[in-house]
Structure 1
Amino acid sequence: MSPSSALRHLIWLAGLSFWLASVAFAADPFARATLATKGTIYAGQQVEVDIDVFVPNYFLSPPQFPLFDIPGTVVTMPDDRGMNLNETVNGEDFSGIRKTYVITPQAAGDYTLPKIEIPFGYAAVPGQTSQGQVTVPSLTFSVAAVPGASGGAPGVTAGELTITQAFDRELKGLQTGDALVRTVTIRAAGVAPMMIPVPSFNAPDGVQIYPHDPVLTEERTPRGEITAGLRKDTATYVFTRQGTFSLPAIALQWFNPASGKTETAEADGAEITVAAAPAATDRALAPPAAPPAEEPVDRLWWAGLAAAVLAFALLTQLAANLFGRLERSLEAALMRRAQSEATAFRHVLDACRAHDPARLETALDAWSRKTGNLPLSRWLDGFADTQTRTAFASYRQSRYATAPIDREEPDLAHLYSGLKASRQRWLEAVSGDSNAPAGELPELNPVLDLSPRANL
């Protein structure tokens, strides 16, 4: 071979190596962190951060997004559902899943996401499960102090805040000893219910006030997205004397990041006039009536009646105790049955029979978490035959393939029998009993035999 020909082959091999390296690099899973909240961020304001995880081809087990901590903040993940994504990077098709975290900083300053590692399973090679893990890139955001707030205290920072109130009766015609119930509802857009401050119920002299436990809820769109936090507080006023009383207004200051101003929401006060309760009507005194003539008392009859009543009461109490024990035992047995491994696997088989891929995904995830078989692909590698693993890979490809041409109709009927046989082999392995029956799962009808028994 001539030197020029050898040089051309060397250059060609080097170029091929660089091309293969670039393709392998482009096909690696990756993660992305994006600050979804735009503009100036103020203390007490909810900050949305989107975490995206991308893999080539499709997922075979969903990524496990952790709930992390950032000092000086409250971190929540309000929606457990993920958003499916598709993206092309350097000519490679990627499937992605997004989770949105809500971070509420309590003071001004700079905040940085901690190190977040997210494991998952994906099809690096179609039909084969590969375990992967990505580290979320670092993300820092700055939080400004609320103008006019001392020490950068957050107060209430919301997109909108309103206060409404209602009374359980007319404010006229009250008398001493009467009670008046006042219910105040605070709606804060973009604020978690637990972050809404407690309203102050004050009462003047002569009025006793009894606050009730608050009710915290969330306002959601028809798609389940959280739009606002709701806090409902109730207090009962009892008027102990007559007079005119002023129930104070309930006001709450909040900062509007859109306008950059501090605003006030208020529920009006009320003027209450309470009259004296009418005195009891005096009855004219009359000479006492003559006592009625006493009739002879049959003591034996009354004694028998008292004994019969006592016996009936004892029997009723005994029957109630026995029935209560039976009911509690039955409820406990049904609860154990409903939370058992067998019930979780029955949901998997029901989803296969119904040919419902989405329902099967939820049932498989619940069963694998309950039994500790995570990831599920490892369990299949240990107990499933080749046909079952192939059917499962076809099912996952039909769920997560990026291109429509890659999607095939999954064979859930074959997956039904394969998963059932795999579970039987797994039960025999973990129990050491090779003679375990391989029939259908037990029926979920309650039984009266409530003696303890081992879970499947």
Structure 2
Amino acid sequence: MSASSPVPRLLLWLIGLTLWFNGDAFAANPFARATLATEGTIYAGQQIEIDIDVFVPNYFLTPPQFPLFDLRGAVVTMPDDRGMNLNETVDGEAFSGIRKTYVITPQAAGTYALPTIVIPFGYAAVPGQTTQGKVTVPRLKFTVEAVPGGAGGAPGVTAGEITINQTFDRDPAGLHAGDALVRTVTTRAAGLAPMMIPEPSLKAPQGVQVYRHDPVLSEERTPRGEIAAGLRKDVATYVFAEPGTFPLASITLEWFNPQSGKTETAEADGAQVVVGAAPATETAIAPPAPPPTKEPFDWLWWATAAASVLALATAIQVAANLFGRLETWIDAALTRNAHSEDTAFRQVLSACRDQDKARLDTALDRWSRRTGNVPLEKWLDRFADQETKVAFARHRQSRYGTSQSHHERPDFARLQSGLKSARRRWLEEFSGDDEAADELPGLNPVFDSALRKSR
């Protein structure tokens, strides 16, 4: 017996250790719970609140997505501003929670159970890392009793307190035929959603037309932002075409108060509308109207109008002339720029950058003829350095040499920088001669170039 006694102790120790680890694992997992916040007996038609709490260890990284579910035989709503942050410690583990409150109005007596509700979220299982999780809300059940005295468990209206107020836009006893009377009825129901407040009866007596406006639904809130009551405002316009006395019926609404357990009544008094005959309009006898007089011709007005038209036409003509001159000047400036020495040389540099042999020869020929530097080799001998001359010679050889030399690749980078330096030296030498860079080439560019050099 003594030899086998350590075995049960070891088994008990292992079982306890396993339960301890399982408890920690459970405590470290997210969980949800559902709580019926409304206390006492629940009656058909009564608005109740159910709190859904979702807890995660550490903290949320993406908020839980609370769905709006369907519950057969009940109206389910979820105010967006009813979220609440929670903090709780379970088995020594710190949890963060978020609560959403669902508002449910059961329409008949019976037992209700929440459907399967799955809520996804993201949380920090490991601080700094997002872990996707989801929980299933426990299926909370609650029982709804029939309203005492109700027909077959029909919901009727169940609320904490209901009041009805009405106003008229004028004295109902001081109307005349053809006048209209506006009646405004405001129903306030504590503990009842605005959409659940019944529509009041605003019928018109015989011989009176009534026009109903769309109802306005709103909520009354406490200073802390909590919903205190539902509000419904109905407006009707009565039109009285004939004189007489017309009664407007009172408005009554019965509701069951779950706090007192009694059926109570809210009422707005009716009104007697007295409509008199329309006031008679007297026709005054007036003397005959004098014959119309012919107004004199207004010379000043016509002269001013003619002068204004003439001034406008003159301004339009002047503007057209100025615009034509401006257009001509712009065209001439664009033409000068297109045929300028600077534009022609930029095309040479562009061909070097693109390493286009054919376009380089065309651009060099155009520039040399534009500036009178013909032949180009003579200009290069005077202003280009030896490396540029060699690069240009290799370019010409690759273009016009033997078939083997066509495969040689000129040094375009050296040629580009050398041509820029040669042009800069050429411009410095002939900086005083503007015609060399701005005018069109002469009829004999070789003679003109020699003439400029002789100067």
Provide the residue aligned with 1:233 in structure 2. Answer: 234
Distance 2:177 2:273 in 1: 12
Query: What is aligned with 1:215?
Result: 216
Residue 146 of structure 2 is aligned to residue 145 of structure 1: yes
Distance (Å, rounded) in 2 between the aligned partners of 1:22 and 1:258: 43
- Matched residue type, 2:170: R
Q: Residue 209 of structure 1 aligns to a residue in which SS? A: strand
Change over 3 Å in CA distance of 1:210–1:18 after alignment to 2: closer
Mapping of residues 147-296 of structure 1, within 5 Å: 147-284=148-285, 292=292
Name the aligned partner's letter for residue 234 of structure 1.
V
Distance 1:60 1:168, change over 3 A: same
Check the 8 A contact 1:218/1:230 in 2, yes or no.
yes
Structure 1 residue 117, shift from structure 2 partner = 0.6
CA distance in 1, matches of 2:292, 2:95: 100
Partner of 1:45: 46
Contact 1:79 1:225 in 2 (8 A): no
CA distance in 1, matches of 2:61, 2:293: 94
Contact map agreement 2:87 2:96 (CA 8 A) in 1 = yes
- Alignment-derived partner of residue 77 in structure 2: 76
Give the letter for the 2:157 counterpart: V
Output the CA distance in 1 between the equivalents of 2:8 and 2:253.
Answer: 80
Name the structure 1 match of 2:384: none
TM-score (norm: length of structure 1): 0.60
Aligned residue pairs: how many? Answer: 299
Change (3 A) 1:74 1:11: closer
Aligned-partner Cα distance in 1 for 2:90–2:293: 107
Matches within 5 A, 1:55-70: 55-70=56-71
1:291 Cα deviation from its structure 2 partner: 5.4
- What is the CA–CA distance in structure 2 between the aligned matches of 1:290 and 1:191, rounded to whole Å? 73
In structure 2, relative to structure 1, the CA distance for the partners of 1:283 and 1:8 (3 Å cut) is closer
In 2: Cα distance, 1:9 partner to 1:110 partner: 49
Separation (CA, whole Å) in 2 of partners of 1:5 and 1:276:
112
Alignment partner, residue 403 of structure 2: none
* Distance (whole Å) between structure 2 residues aligned to residue 233 and residue 181 of structure 1: 11
**1:98 and 2:103 aligned:** no
How far apart are 1:109 and its partner, in Å?
A: 1.3
Q: 1:271 to 1:6 in 2, by over 3 A?
A: closer
Q: Is the 8 A contact 1:79 1:100 kept in 2?
A: no
In 2 relative to 1, CA 145–7 (structure 1 residues): closer, same or farther, beyond 3 Å?
closer
Contact 2:173/2:272 (8 A) holds in 1: no
Check whether the contact 1:59–1:95 (CA below 8 A) recurs between aligned residues.
yes
C-alpha separation between the residues in 1 aligned to 2:256 and 2:4? 77
- Tell me, in whole angstroms, the C-alpha distance in 1 between the residues paired with 2:172 and 2:14: 92
Structure 1 residue 250, shift from structure 2 partner: 1.1
**Offset from partner CA, 1:217-274 (integer Å, 9 cap, x none):** 0111122211111000011111111122211111111111111111111111111221
Cα distance change on mapping 1:61 and 1:284 into 2, 3 Å: closer
Deviation string, structure 1 residues 28-83 (Cα, Å, up to 9, x no partner): 21111111111111111111001111112222221111111101111111134421
Instruction: Give the aligned partner of residue 417 of structure 2.
Output: none
Tell me the alpha carbon deviations over residues 265-303 of structure 1, each in whole angstroms, 9 at most, x when there is no partner.
1111111221111222144487x66755778999xx9xx
1:8-29: CA deviation from partner (whole Å, max 9, x where unpaired): 7776555433322221122221
- Aligned residue in 2 for 1:361: none
Q: Specify which structure has the bigger relative contact order, considering alpha-carbon pairs within 8 angstroms and separated by 6 or more residues.
A: 1
Q: Per-residue displacement from partner, 1:171-206 (whole Å, max 9, x unpaired)? A: 332111111111000000111111111111022223
Question: Do the aligned partners of residues 138 and 279 (structure 1) sit closer, same or farther apart at CA in structure 2, a change above 3 Å counting?
Answer: same
Q: Which amino acid aligns with 1:213?
A: D
Q: What TM-score do you get using the length of structure 2 for normalisation?
A: 0.60
Matched, 1:36 2:28: no
Q: Distance in 2 between matches of 1:12 and 1:290?
A: 125
Quote the offset at 1:124 in angstroms: 2.1
Larger Rg: 2
180-189 or 260-269, which moves further after superposition?
Answer: 260-269
Pick closer, same or farther for the CA change 1:175–1:124 going to 2, 3 Å: same
SS of 2:152's equivalent in the other structure is: helix
| CA 1:7–1:231: 2 relative to 1, 3 Å | closer
Report the Cα offset of residue 3 of structure 1: 9.0
**Cα shift at 1:152:** 1.9
Q: Which structure 2 residue ranges, 5 or more long, are not aligned?
A: 306-455
Q: How does 1:409-448 map to 2 (within 5 A)?
A: none
CA–CA distance in structure 2, aligned partners of residues 14 and 209 of structure 1? 80
- The 1:169/1:290 distance shift into structure 2, 3 A limit, reads closer
For 1:4 and 1:282, how far apart are their aligned partners in 2? 126
Q: Name the CA distance, whole Å, in 2 between partners of 1:111 and 1:21.
A: 34
Q: Report runs of 4+ in structure 1 exceeding 4 Å deviation.
A: 2-15, 288-298
Q: Using the TM superposition, give the Cα deviation of residue 6 of structure 1 relative to its aligned residue in structure 2, in angstroms.
A: 8.9
Instruction: Give the % identical residues.
Output: 73
Following TM superposition, by how much is the alpha carbon of 1:156 offset from its aligned partner in structure 2, in angstroms?
1.3
The superposition leaves residues 386-438 of structure 1 with CA deviations (integer Å, 9 ceiling, x where unpaired) of: xxxxxxxxxxxxxxxxxxxxxxxxxxxxxxxxxxxxxxxxxxxxxxxxxxxxx
The residue number in structure 1 matching 2:366 is none
Secondary structure at the residue paired with 1:183?
A: strand
Match of residue 109 from structure 2 = 108
Change (3 A) 1:173 1:90: same
For 1:424, the equivalent position in structure 2 comes to none
What residue is the counterpart of 1:316 in the other structure?
none
Find the residue that maps to 1:277 and give its secondary structure: coil
Q: Distance in 2 between matches of 1:14 and 1:39?
A: 43
CA RMSD of aligned residues (A): 2.7
Instruction: Give the whole-Å Cα distance in 1 for the aligned partners of 2:286 and 2:33.
Output: 92
User: Aligned partners of 1:223 and 1:102: how far apart in 2?
Assistant: 19
8 A Cα contact 2:82 2:101, kept in partner: no
Distance 1:127 1:292 in 2: 94
Q: Which residue of 1 aligns with 2:425?
A: none
